[in-house]
Structure 1
Amino acid sequence: MRTVFAVNKPELCHELFEHFAGCNVVHLSSVSELLVYLYAHRLSGEDTFERTLSLVVHQQPQRDSQSSSDPELESITTAELAYLVQKQFPCFSLSVTAPAEVPKALKHLRECASLYASRLARVSTWMYNNYEGCKKPFTGHETHNACQQDETTPNSSSCSANVYTMLSHLTRVRNNSHQSAGLPCTKLISTALNLRDLIILPKDKVSSDHYWKLISTWDFCAMSLSTSELIWCSYLILKKVAHDANFHISDNDLFLFLLSLEASYHQGNKFHSFRHAVDVMQATWQLCCHLKSHFEKNSSILVVCVAAIGHDVGHPGTNNALMCDPISPVAKLYNKASVLENFHTEIFSDLLQEHWPQILQQKTILSDTILATDMALHSQYVQLMDAGPSKLPSLLSLILKAADISNVTRPLHISTNWAVLITCEFSECAALLKSIQNNDIYGHKVTDCDEPIPDCIESILIKYPSIPKGQLLFINAFAESLFAGLAECFQELRFLHNNVQANKKFWEGKCK
């Protein structure tokens, strides 16, 4: 276990501190301080809160001891804090308990340590572990017990402490959807914290003009930006399209939405991370700008941009093939059809219900556009273009689909950097499958993608010699037909096909 957070000065006796030997014990005087700590360390990359298990020991305040000027956030119970952490930081391996339950919580977390022994172990846990979490929706009146063993769960290593699995995430979302009202997490946080203060930009780039120039071109390079910068770029785009669509959301609530969304992506994923989500949203927005004359209302642009940034939320960094064979619990729930895309849609809809429920007025468009990113359906969407420009919902689906695979249309140096990341992810998928077949998931280690990508293309190709063939395979099988079709339907998008052709010619030269 990496870190123990002691919140509200819990009375931890000497015996309890002995349990924390080797852990980083962080003392925080309030729930607000805990949230700021989590956001700040996640944004800086100092700690993803995913690679190891951490524990929050929360001293529940006396209701009558709170000052009337204190934010309501500071008076929440331990059960409420556990719920808030799961809602706002769903991918974090962060459990919450009361001081009296610390020994039980530590025991269960140590039993689960092997699930986080390596990157492959974590991914396997996310995908295949059948831990469902709490089966009852939160009502706000529970007596919290972080360590209550769920006897109906067949996996002996599972416990009700927050060990992330895709199934537990989905189960929690479905349970919460059946309740009329839970803890108002968004209101509590946005009232207590100024979220803009957490977004730290480089001193020489604090002007919005700098970032508008970055996002207003097809040369946008998400890989050159920090997590805070990615959130800032996302804020600028969503603030504009929301204003144009007359959809109100305050700046503080928009920043909270983006922070919660980022915490719902696995930061350690090679390719399918929040960085990819922002890249796809920027591409979506740019395509909408080029095709603006084809839209009857600006709300459609807002919805497809929101869908773009949430289209891969909770992605495990693998693919539908690995979700289905060996079959995962989530794949069973979706009958092995568009598993990840259906998962993303459900998870994202729940997040929007909490943070931006207005968007769900157009939930059908949201669902249809995310489903369009399933590559198994690629040929169907290409065929839609045979009869010329489609109806608006189909156009939105084509835009998000095109944006999702637009890496190969970016300038060559940017496209090559994305090729490195997808190559790393494919290699990790192959390693995971091999480890599953050899039954050595927990012992097999794969280096997390922390090494910087070489500066020049030639150096990249020395380190990753398979990239040219991989890029040609993808372009020939998928990208060329889609972007050729778009160019035929929409004169405004011919530049995409031209870029694909130029990149293809370069890779063909490398394969001679």
Structure 2
Amino acid sequence: MSMLFAVNSPELSTKLVSQFPDSNVVHVPCVADLLLRLYANRLSGSNTYERNLSLVVYQEPASTSSATPESALNSISAEELSCLIQKQFPCFSLSVTTPANALEAVGGLNTRRTMYSTRLNRVSTWMYNDYAGPDQPGVNDSETCAHSKSDHKSHPASSCSSNVYTMLSHLTKVRRSSACNQRKPYSKMISSALDLRSLIHVPRGNTDKYYWDFLSTWDFCAMRLNTSELVWCSYLILGKLARDAGFEVSDNELFLLLLTLEASYHQGNKFHNFRHAVDVMQATWQLCCRLNSHFDSNASVLLVCVAAIGHDVGHPGTNNALMCDPLSPIAKLYQKKSVLENFHTEIFSDILRDHWPRILEKQSVISDTILATDMALHSQYVDQMDTSSSKHPTLLSLIIKAADISNVTRPLHISTKWAVLITCEFNECAALLKFLQKDDGYENYMPECDDPLPDCVESMLIKYPSIPKGQLLFINAFAESLFAGLGDCFHELKFLHNNVQENKKFWEGKM
């Protein structure tokens, strides 16, 4: 649903309003209220701001006042608001303009809506669009276009528009921000002005003890949690680890980091989304708890858990093979090596630089552990599992690698749900390839998994009969060797291999 936000009572022409249904024009009194509304809508799922192109028409305040943190936030310029939106909501297709430029801006949106008309169009746009963004991001971004010499026939969604999210524009903004000596403290402005805890709503009666009991078991099922609960569980784990490691961060700052991370994942992805990130972080934490005697400091556990929740940030919902063939601009930048993992690392490091810079004192830990999740490097890590496995850097990489594919070690009813989601994502990748190749077969593709997952394993297998074969292929090719090796090196982790064997036996019986 495309939205038009009118902030600070701008004058909206009849022609402009006619472009949006009445229910899609929202009048917001100030910037603070706009941000609260965006966070609340995202958390509730009422609007992800990814499926459609939306616009903020911002009437700049006549006078600037910084008497309080909230008034300082409400007094920013239109250009600053545009930069703030890009920083805090990087995956949102949400543009900022002034009343004078509003008609032109909405006209630009309308010419580009086909780029977001279907899920395949959106993913193609994210991956292959060669728009890199203007040199000076601001309220007139839609006027700036960048074209490469790539063959636009092979990239049907190619266009130039700052109103549409692309991986290249995201990375370009991050690199420009990193090269700039002065970074506008937008995160500090927000955390000082807004009570972010008030946005997190968990079901009535669910106490912290309820969530700690849920988190402190290998039976953890992230699919049972809504987005607010995912943020809350992440806050509990990271807050505790930060206190234990002496890496103090205020509650409001931590909530803002988590909200920014959530907004940096594509909610529409079937598997590689914020839910997966929280699942991997929980698994990472649980593995660290079992191997506690092998760590010489609590900081190591904090760092690898932080890396886990950011390890797939900005993921397009596809894979490195599709990034490289057809060749995407991002794959070209990374010379086709660990493309997504390098992208995640750069994006995540920029987020941490704004929200928790002290973590980046150990930048190499973040980078090395995220790189370890590249399945193309799987055999290298399996080969390292000998007496050197207990060495600090290798151990952290093995832990996050194990956590990343831990869904095959979860109890069968949980593992099967993850199998359904990854199957849907693989099917989407196949459809996307046909779409890019102009194969008519993609026209028959219908997005899957939009309905709730079936309750029982047998029902899931009736709907997705290919799951047993896919699970056995993955277990035999990757999971079995990794978890067997970990069990041999660390008796505390033998249960992982046992769980894999039990699940494998079940899938073999279904062939």
Partner of 2:190: 189
- Alpha-carbon offset, residue 22 of structure 1: 6.7
Partner of 1:169: 170
- Distance in 2, Cα, partners of 1:307 & 1:338: 16
Q: 1:186-335 alignment to 2 at 5 Å?
A: 186-205=187-206, 207-335=207-335
Partner of 2:114: 114
User: In the TM superposition, what whole-angstrom CA distance separates every residue of 1:151-204 from its partner, at most 9, and x where no partner exists?
Assistant: 556679644433100000000000111111132111110111000000000012
Uncovered stretches (5+) of structure 2, i.e. residues with no partner: none
* Counterpart residue type for residue 411 of structure 1: P
- Distance in 1, Cα, partners of 2:290 & 2:232: 23
- Distance in 2, Cα, partners of 1:440 & 1:180: 50
**Secondary structure of 1:335 counterpart:** coil
- Does 2:437 match 1:452? no
Q: Is the 8 A contact 2:388 2:394 kept in 1?
A: no
Uncovered stretches (5+) of structure 1, i.e. residues with no partner: none
- Distance in 1, Cα, partners of 2:146 & 2:343: 26
**Secondary structure of 1:477 counterpart:** helix
- Distance in 1, Cα, partners of 2:174 & 2:367: 16
- Does 2:8 match 1:8? yes
- Does 2:148 match 1:147? no
**Secondary structure of 2:384 counterpart:** helix
**Secondary structure of 1:468 counterpart:** helix
Larger mean Cα displacement after TM superposition, 64-73 or 301-310: 64-73
Q: Is the 8 A contact 2:134 2:144 kept in 1?
A: no
**Secondary structure of 1:95 counterpart:** strand
Larger mean Cα displacement after TM superposition, 58-67 or 173-182: 58-67
Q: Is the 8 A contact 1:120 1:432 kept in 2?
A: yes
- Distance in 2, Cα, partners of 1:489 & 1:226: 36
Q: Is the 8 A contact 1:118 1:444 kept in 2?
A: no
- Does 2:43 match 1:43? yes
Note closer, same or farther for the CA distance 1:464–1:152 as it changes in structure 2 (3 Å cut): closer
User: In the TM superposition, what whole-angstrom CA distance separates every residue of 1:218-272 from its partner, at most 9, and x where no partner exists?
Assistant: 0000001000000000000000111111001000000000000000000000000
- Distance in 1, Cα, partners of 2:28 & 2:448: 30
- Distance in 2, Cα, partners of 1:96 & 1:374: 36
- Alpha-carbon offset, residue 64 of structure 1: 4.8
Note closer, same or farther for the CA distance 1:238–1:334 as it changes in structure 2 (3 Å cut): same
**Secondary structure of 1:385 counterpart:** coil
Q: Is the 8 A contact 1:311 1:370 kept in 2?
A: yes
Q: Is the 8 A contact 1:57 1:102 kept in 2?
A: yes
Larger mean Cα displacement after TM superposition, 501-510 or 20-29: 20-29
* Counterpart residue type for residue 6 of structure 1: A
Note closer, same or farther for the CA distance 1:177–1:69 as it changes in structure 2 (3 Å cut): closer
Q: Is the 8 A contact 2:65 2:71 kept in 1?
A: no
* Counterpart residue type for residue 161 of structure 1: S
Partner of 2:465: 465
* Counterpart residue type for residue 14 of structure 1: T
Q: Is the 8 A contact 1:389 1:490 kept in 2?
A: no
Partner of 1:354: 354
**Secondary structure of 1:203 counterpart:** coil
- Alpha-carbon offset, residue 486 of structure 1: 0.2
User: In the TM superposition, what whole-angstrom CA distance separates every residue of 1:329-364 from its partner, at most 9, and x where no partner exists?
Assistant: 000000000000000000000000010001100110
- Alpha-carbon offset, residue 386 of structure 1: 3.2
Q: Is the 8 A contact 2:238 2:305 kept in 1?
A: yes
Q: Is the 8 A contact 2:219 2:411 kept in 1?
A: yes
- Distance in 1, Cα, partners of 2:17 & 2:279: 45
Partner of 2:32: 32
- Distance in 1, Cα, partners of 2:63 & 2:339: 45
- Alpha-carbon offset, residue 12 of structure 1: 1.6
* Counterpart residue type for residue 320 of structure 2: N
**Secondary structure of 1:180 counterpart:** coil
**Secondary structure of 1:5 counterpart:** strand
Partner of 2:365: 365
Q: Is the 8 A contact 1:120 1:444 kept in 2?
A: no
- Alpha-carbon offset, residue 436 of structure 1: 1.1
- Alpha-carbon offset, residue 443 of structure 1: 6.1
* Counterpart residue type for residue 143 of structure 2: Q
Partner of 1:507: 507
* Counterpart residue type for residue 494 of structure 1: K
Q: Is the 8 A contact 2:269 2:317 kept in 1?
A: yes
- Distance in 2, Cα, partners of 1:462 & 1:342: 38
Q: Is the 8 A contact 1:408 1:475 kept in 2?
A: yes
Note closer, same or farther for the CA distance 1:65–1:286 as it changes in structure 2 (3 Å cut): closer
Note closer, same or farther for the CA distance 1:67–1:346 as it changes in structure 2 (3 Å cut): closer
Larger mean Cα displacement after TM superposition, 347-356 or 65-74: 65-74
User: In the TM superposition, what whole-angstrom CA distance separates every residue of 1:274-320 from its partner, at most 9, and x where no partner exists?
Assistant: 00000000000000000000001111100000000000000000000
With normalisation by structure 2, the TM-score equals 0.95
Note closer, same or farther for the CA distance 1:115–1:23 as it changes in structure 2 (3 Å cut): farther
Larger mean Cα displacement after TM superposition, 93-102 or 384-393: 384-393
- Distance in 1, Cα, partners of 2:122 & 2:112: 11
Q: Is the 8 A contact 2:69 2:193 kept in 1?
A: no
- Distance in 2, Cα, partners of 1:230 & 1:190: 20
Note closer, same or farther for the CA distance 1:153–1:388 as it changes in structure 2 (3 Å cut): closer
Aligned residues: 505
Q: Is the 8 A contact 1:280 1:404 kept in 2?
A: yes
**Secondary structure of 2:27 counterpart:** strand
Q: Is the 8 A contact 1:120 1:441 kept in 2?
A: no
Q: Over aligned residue pairs, what C-alpha RMSD do you find?
A: 1.8
- Distance in 2, Cα, partners of 1:54 & 1:105: 10
Partner of 1:485: 485
Partner of 1:77: 77
- Distance in 1, Cα, partners of 2:202 & 2:176: 38
- Alpha-carbon offset, residue 104 of structure 1: 1.4
Partner of 2:437: 437
* Counterpart residue type for residue 63 of structure 1: S
**Secondary structure of 1:327 counterpart:** coil
- Alpha-carbon offset, residue 17 of structure 1: 2.3
**Secondary structure of 1:438 counterpart:** coil
Q: Is the 8 A contact 2:90 2:264 kept in 1?
A: yes
- Alpha-carbon offset, residue 441 of structure 1: 10
- Distance in 2, Cα, partners of 1:94 & 1:507: 44
Note closer, same or farther for the CA distance 1:433–1:152 as it changes in structure 2 (3 Å cut): closer
